[in-house]
Amino acid sequence: MVYGTCGLESLCGPGQHQNQRCSGILGTLLTLSQKQQQQQAENAAGAAGKKKKVTAAQLRVQKDLSELSLGSTMKTDFPNPDDILNFTLTIDPDEGMYKGGSFSFSFAINQNFPHDPPKVKCKEKIYHPNIDLEGNVCLNILREDWKPVLNLNAVIVGLQFLFLEPNASDPLNKEAAEDLKTNREGFKRNVRSAMGGGGVRGETFQRVLK
């Protein structure tokens, strides 16, 4: 962009800039008020072609999705492919205590993404120290540590990690966390039985084995 003496040639326009009275932004303003009527008439004529533009949140999600690396243990499902802000992610851990299970998470992203984090919930009732019976997930980057520079891939990696390394010090299911802390072998047995649709401490879980 070329700036003239007023510093804002692009604002006042090259033609006007060569006028004897170049007046920077103000020149634009003055011209504008003179042009207003003419412009409104033109606008009325062109009003038929109004289209919604892709929103900033959609653009970010589209970018995040095109950079996603799902590997062989994860897949997505979009109930409505035209709505990329709402989808399900399924994780099939291939190692760790939750190996053999299949866990799905609903992602709900609002128009204020990435200022707001995505809302993520586990869709099955599972036995996990960091996921409660309603599906709430305790993952720092989904809440207190979310930043706009983080992307969907970071969230997905975080979720994957929860199945490799369940964390007893951030309990959302207190009983499961207690079991993990005090009796790791017993915890493993509980995980197997819960994944098979059995009960643990009087609570029945959903069968998630593949």
Partner 1 sequence: MDETTVADMANGDGSRIKWKFLDRIVSRQGPFADPDNPIGEQALQMLSSVKVLVIGAGGLGCEILKNLALSGFTDIHVIDMDTIDVSNLNRQFLFRQADVGKHKAEVAARFVESRVRGVKITPYCGKIQDKDEDYYMQFAFVVCGLDSIEARRWINATLVGMVDEENPDSLKPLIDGGTEGFKGQSKVILPTMTSCIECQLDLHAPRAAVPLCTLATIPRQPQHCIEWAHIIAWDEERKDITLDNDDPEHITWLYQKALKRAEDFDIPGVTYSMTQGVVKNIIPAIASTNAIIAASCCNEAFKFATGSNPSLAYPPPDANNYMTYSGDDSIYTYTFTHEKKDDCPVCGNLAKTMEIDPSWTLQEFVESFAERPEAQLKKPSIRSEAKTLYMQSIASLEEQTRPNLAKKLSELVSDGEEIAVSDPALQISFKYKLVFKS
What is the rounded CA–CA span in Å between residue 210 and residue 196? Answer: 10
Provide CB contacts within 8 A for 8, sequence distance 6+.
24, 25, 28
Q: Which is nearer to partner 1, 112 or 196 (CB)?
A: 112
- Closest distance to partner 1 from the beta carbon of 46 (Å): 8
So which residues are the catalytic ones?
A: 138
DSSP state, residue 54? P
Kindly state the smallest distance separating residue 98's Cβ from partner 1, in Å.
19
DSSP class of residue 117 equals: P
CB of 37 to partner 1, least distance (A): 10
Residue 94's contacts (CB-CB under 8 Å, 6 or more residues apart) are 72, 73
> How far is CA 111 from its chain centroid?
10
Sole binder of partner 1 in the list 5, 185, 202, 210 (CB under 8 A): 5
- Is 166 a binding residue for partner 1 by CB under 8 A? The answer is no
Angle, to 10 degrees, between the axis of helix 152-164 and the axis of helix 56-66? 50
Please identify which residue in 2, 18, 32, 175 interacts with partner 1, judged by CB under 8 A.
Answer: 32
Q: Which of 93, 101, 118, 171 binds partner 1 (CB under 8 A)?
A: 171
Residues 90-149 that bind partner 1 (CB under 8 A): 111-112, 114-115, 130, 132, 134, 136-138, 140, 143-144, 146-149
Sign of the dihedral through C-alpha 76, 171, 146, 153: negative
Q: Which is nearer to partner 1, 174 or 184 (CB)?
A: 174
Interface map 180-209 toward partner 1 (x if CB under 8 A): ------------------------------
Query: What's the full length of the chain, in residues?
Result: 210
